[in-house]
Amino acid sequence: MISHLDGTVCSLAPDGAVIDIGGVGLAVQCTPATLARLRRGDRARVPTSLVVREDALTLYGFADEDERTVFELLQTASGVGPRLALAMLAVHSPDALRVAVASEDLGALTMVPGIGKKGAQRIVLELKDRLGPAGTWHADGQLTADDASAGGYGALRTAIGWRDQVQAGLTGLGWSARDAQQAVEAVEPEMTALAAESPDGRTVDVAVAMRAALRTLSRR
């Protein structure tokens, strides 16, 4: 198993990154929030999970070990494969998923494209005692209530543009390119206003933008 990559970020795309390890570029698929932490040309350490299939070896990268752990636990539920697990982490942070499963919040789980009511009920039944309580892990050893309610990501500076990241994230979750573009356009005024209030006057939180776009799509 490849547990992490530690190298230089060679390139970034809306759905993944290439990290150079000793002259070999390894492609990793990531959520938009994870990608927002990476910078082209910078050195990065990315926890990973290798999914082996008969026809492919796919490497998934995460913001931290907790996100990877939840990704792997999600796949122990019936009907949840790596793509759906990554989609769940694109919509919700690890702690938000813990809260949704523990509180049997089917509405939160069905926000993820590909999860219906029955699928959400099955996930709750099979994972309720496995994900653990919210707030048990944080990169710096601490997690505040505000972190959990905000999705645990904080302000994320985009490397390839928050619009591209959110649009790619939505299409990766199963929405059409047209719907994804319209959702991004719908939330752009709100995101512009929030960015103006950030310390540098231009930072957009990709996780917040993704949730806002999903809310827009869910109302259709």
> Distance (Å, rounded) from C-alpha 45 to C-alpha 26?
13
DSSP codes joined into one string, 93-129: -HHHHHHHHHTT-HHHHTTSTT--HHHHHHHHHHHTT
Query: What's residue 117's pLDDT?
Result: 92
Per-residue pLDDT, 219: 66
- pLDDT for 207 equals 75
Query: In the numeric block, which tokens belong to residue 105?
Result: 């919040």
pLDDT given for residue 17 in this prediction:
92
> What pLDDT sits at residue 121?
95
The label of the residue with tokens 């019936």 reads 78
CATH 2.40.50.140 fits 4-61, yes or no: yes
Domain boundaries, the chain: 4-61, 65-149, 162-218
pLDDT at 138: 41
What are the φ/ψ torsions at residue 51 (nearest 5 degrees)?
-105, 120
- The domain 65-149 is classified under which CATH number: 1.10.3720.10, 3.90.230.10, 3.30.9.10, 1.10.150.20? 1.10.150.20
Token look-up 């206003």 returns 193
Q: What is the per-residue pLDDT for 220? A: 61
Check if the beta carbon of residue 158 is closer than 8 Å to that of residue 36.
yes
How many Å apart are CA 111 and CA 218, to the nearest integer? 7
Q: Burial of 197 by CB count in 10 Å (0-12 exposed, 13-18 middle, 19+ buried)? A: exposed
Q: Quick one: 85 exposed, middle or buried, by C-beta within 10 A (0-12, 13-18, 19+)?
A: buried
What does the pLDDT read at residue 158? 42
- What CATH number is given for 162-218 in this structure? 1.10.8
Q: In a structure prediction context, what are the per-residue pLDDT tens digits for the chain, which is 220 residues long?
A: 789 999 999 998 877 899 999 999 999 999 877 887 888 899 999 999 999 888 888 999 998 999 999 999 999 999 999 989 998 998 888 988 999 999 999 998 998 888 999 999 999 999 988 887 766 444 333 333 333 333 333 334 444 477 887 887 777 667 788 888 898 999 998 888 888 887 777 777 777 888 888 888 876 6
Structure tokens at 35: 């990608």
Kindly give, in sequence order, each residue whose CB lies less than 8 Å from that of residue 164, ignoring residues fewer than 6 positions away: 14
Domains 4-61 and 65-149 share a fold: no
Residue 148: the pLDDT is: 34
Report how far residue 129's alpha carbon sits from residue 135's, in angstroms, rounded to the nearest whole number.
15
Q: Is 152 helix (H, G, I), strand (E, B) or coil?
A: coil
